[in-house]
Structure formats: structure tokens, C-alpha cells
Structure 1
Amino acid sequence: KEIAEPNEADNSDQNIKRMPIITTTNRGGTFTISNQYELMILDGPGLMRKFADGTEPVAMGYVITGRLKSSFPNGIEIEIESPDPNDPNETVTT
């Protein structure tokens, strides 16, 4: 999957800036993963095997600044269970 140039990924909000903080060298320019779970546990030698020679650096981490769009513009709904007054382990406030 190809990723857009970081500061041109989405032109809908020009106030968001992405600054790479971790990059490879030019030689480590191609990075592939099989699934999203490979990045959950960072294994240095395992990550190194995923790189192939390339011509441009790969950004591995970014600092993102600016006001991001909310993923929940209308808020979220949560269900709260009423405490059971007969449960001795339940803290009841009145």
C-alpha cells in the first residue's frame, strides 16, 4: 500500500502538519508488512528483515500538530448500568 507524501496526504485542512521523527536511510527505502499486528510488538531484528534496498527514506514515525477532525463529530453514546443497591461490593453514592 502506498502512502501519500506526509504533508500532502489530505488537503482538506492546511493547519495540520506532519513531521517525520523516525526515518530510515535512503538504502532502507522499502518496508513491507504482512498485517497490522506485526507492528504491535516491535522486534528490532524482525523489523530489519522487512526492509529492502531503495532510493528514498521511509518515515517510520511522525509528530502530528494542528487541530484534527473529530472521529465523533456528534459525540458518543455510552450505556451506564445502574448500581445495584443490594450488592455489598458496589459503591453507592447518594
Structure 2
Amino acid sequence: MATDYDAPRKTEEEQKEDSIEELKARRNDKTSGKVDEDEAEAAESFELPGADLSHEELSVEVKPKQEDEFTCMSCFLVHHRSQLADEKTMTCRDCA
């Protein structure tokens, strides 16, 4: 147990009395462990900066498959031809 050397010194008996009194006070205070706030209601009140994306539009440019690329039939990622492990199954080195 850590010792605070700057704190006033108490005897063991005083320390036991203090801790028992604190425990009794906590036990009598029934509302100390309860939270009155509804999580869903609290989450609605928080507004993150930049969270309103309703006016944004997603645009993606799809490029055609290149001559030196292949799609792995196991992980479905597009790799360079140098990563091809098995031409029959069209799998990459990571999946082979």
C-alpha cells in the first residue's frame, strides 16, 4: 500500500474507524451508485464537429482493370501480377 508521508499520522485504530465510517456512509447512500441519465438521450445532445454530412455527395472514380493486375478469388483484392501465387485458382501470395 502506498504511503503519503505528508499526511498527518494516525494510529491504526483511527484508520480503522475512518474506513468503517466511510463504508457505513456509502452503504446508507443508496443513490450513490445510480445514474439518472438516459444514455440515448445523452447521445442525442452531443454534436460532433463536422458530423452533418447531409449536404455531401460521395463520388468515386472506378478505373478499368489494368493488364498487369488480377483479382484474388480468395480475398477479392486487386493485386499486381507479381503477387500471383497460383494461376489456376487465381490466388495471391498472401492467401496461398
Identify the structure with bigger relative contact order (alpha carbons < 8 Å, sequence gap 6+): 1
Task: Please state which band the TM-score falls in when normalised by the shorter chain.
Answer: under 0.3
Structure with higher strand content: 1
Using structure 2 for the length normalisation, give the TM-score: 0.23
The structure number with the bigger radius of gyration is 2
* Structure number having the greater helix percentage: 2
